[in-house]
Amino acid sequence: MHEPTGLLAELVSIDSVNPDLVAGGAGEAAIADFCGAWLRGRGFEVHRLERRPGRPSLAAVAHGTGGGRSLMLNGHLDTVSLAGHTLRPRIADGRMYGRGTFDMKGGIAAMMTAAARATARGPLRGDVVLALVADEEYASAGTEEVLDSFTADAAIVTEPSHLQLTLAHKGFAWFDVQVLGRAAHGSRPDLGIDAIARAGHFLVALEELGRRLAQGPGHRLLGTGTVHASVIQGGEEPSTYPASCRITVERRTVPGESVTDAERELAAVLDQLAVNIPDFTYELTRGVHRDPFEADAEAPIVRTLARHAELALGYPPSIRAEPFWTDCALLDRAGIPSVLFGVDGEGAHADTEYVDLASLDRLTDILTGTIIEFCS
> How many domains would you assign to the chain?
2
Within this chain, do residues 283 and 190 fall inside the same structural domain, yes or no? yes
Question: Is there a single domain that holds both residue 85 and residue 131?
Answer: yes
Which of 258, 290, 322 terminates a domain? The answer is 290
pLDDT of the residue at 84: 86
Residues 334 and 263 in one domain: no
Complete edge-to-edge strand list for the sheet that includes strand 226-234 = 226-234, 244-253, 171-180, 281-290
CA 178 to chain centre: 28
Residues 280 and 135 in one domain: no
Domain of 356 in residue numbering reads as 4-169+293-375
For residue 122, the model assigns a pLDDT of 87
User: What pLDDT was estimated at residue 2?
Assistant: 58
Residues 6+ apart with CB under 8 A from 221: 167, 168, 319, 320, 321
100 & 126 share domain: yes
Q: Quick one: 147 and 15 in the same domain? A: yes
CA distances 300 to 75, 166, 306, 331, 336, Å, are: 21, 15, 10, 16, 12
Provide the CATH number for the domain around residue 32: 3.40.630.10
290, 315, 334: which is the final residue of a domain?
A: 290
Based on the domain organization, do 159 and 21 belong to the same domain? Answer: yes
Close Cβ partners of 297 (under 8 Å, ≥ 6 residues apart): 167, 319
Looking at the structure, tell me whether residues 156 and 234 fall in a common domain. Answer: no
Using the 3D structure, point to which of 239, 265, 290 is the last residue of a domain: 290
- Please write the tens of the pLDDT for every residue from 41-60: 999 999 999 999 999 999 99
Statement to judge: residues 204 and 346 lie in one domain:
no
Where the chain has pLDDT below 70, the residues are 1-2
Contacts of 89 (CB under 8 A, 6+ apart): 8, 9, 12, 13, 96, 97, 98, 101
Residue 128, φ and ψ in degrees, nearest 5: -110, 125
In angstroms, how far is CA 307 from the centroid of its own chain?
26
